Amino acid sequence: MAIENPVEKIRKPPAPPHRDRVLSAQEEERLLTALTPGTLRNEDGRFTKETRDHWLKPMVIIAIESAMRRGELLALEWKHVDQVRRTAHLPMTKNGRSRTVPLSSRAIRTLQEIPRSIDGRVFPISHWTVEQVFERASKLAGLAGVHFHDLRHTAATRLAEKVPNLIELAAITGHSNVGMLKRYYHPTAENLALKLG
């Protein structure tokens, strides 16, 4: 009996456009200032806010330096951080594989300044706390619409300038293929023009 497939003519909706938000050095500085514990003021000098979270500023620095995902950072334990070899081992990542992330000098300095938590995690905070504090600090820094995941885009773009080999870059960021990595690497036309000479 010939029966037509009713689903055959249905088209899959197009994927939403990929985000390509990369923080500039000035935006990063404003964000880190907004995440610094203490009383802060807006540019107009009127609005003050008390920031009490001591974990998010170092977490943002490590995210920008390593391209680790928020979940990977929150699951990171001190027993997997080797400050001598400058690596952080992630036993389980989003794609189901383990990977060891190389850490920059700035990342190591930041890790050395973080107090040790009794539960063994490097960042003993919740997803909810990260979301709330990051959103509040972004608004305070005048960076409306910035998401924590944009730090991964920022990291991949900056790392690509230091590590031009795509295979090595994919090993750092944890992308299984270069096509996925392309979604995170956002060079500016100005930087490409400088490379052309």
Domain ranges of the chain: 25-37+53-196
- pLDDT given at position 9: 79
Q: What is the pLDDT of residues 141-189, one digit of tens each?
A: 999 789 999 999 899 888 888 887 778 888 888 877 777 777 666 667 7
Query: Domain 25-37+53-196 is of which CATH architecture?
Result: Orthogonal Bundle (1.10)
- pLDDT given at position 89: 95
Annotated active-site residue in 57, 70, 153, 184 = 184
Annotated active-site residue in 57, 70, 153, 175 = 175
- 69 counts as catalytic: yes
Annotated active-site residue in 89, 147, 149, 186 = 149
Report the C-alpha gap between 66 and 103 in whole angstroms. Answer: 6
- 149 counts as catalytic: yes
Annotated active-site residue in 85, 94, 116, 127 = 94
Report the C-alpha gap between 28 and 30 in whole angstroms. Answer: 5
- CB contact at 8 A, 60 and 32: yes
The residue among 17 and 22 whose pLDDT is bigger is 22
Q: What does pTM read for this prediction?
A: 0.80
Hey, what long-range contacts does 140-143 have (CB within 8 A, 24 or more apart)?
140/34, 140/40, 140/42, 140/47, 140/49, 141/27, 141/30, 141/31, 141/33, 141/34, 142/30, 142/42, 142/43, 143/23, 143/27, 143/30, 143/31
What average pLDDT does the segment 33-52 reach? 64
Q: What percent of the chain has pLDDT over 70?
A: 86
What average pLDDT does the segment 118-136 reach? 93
Instruction: Say how many residues make up the chain.
Output: 197
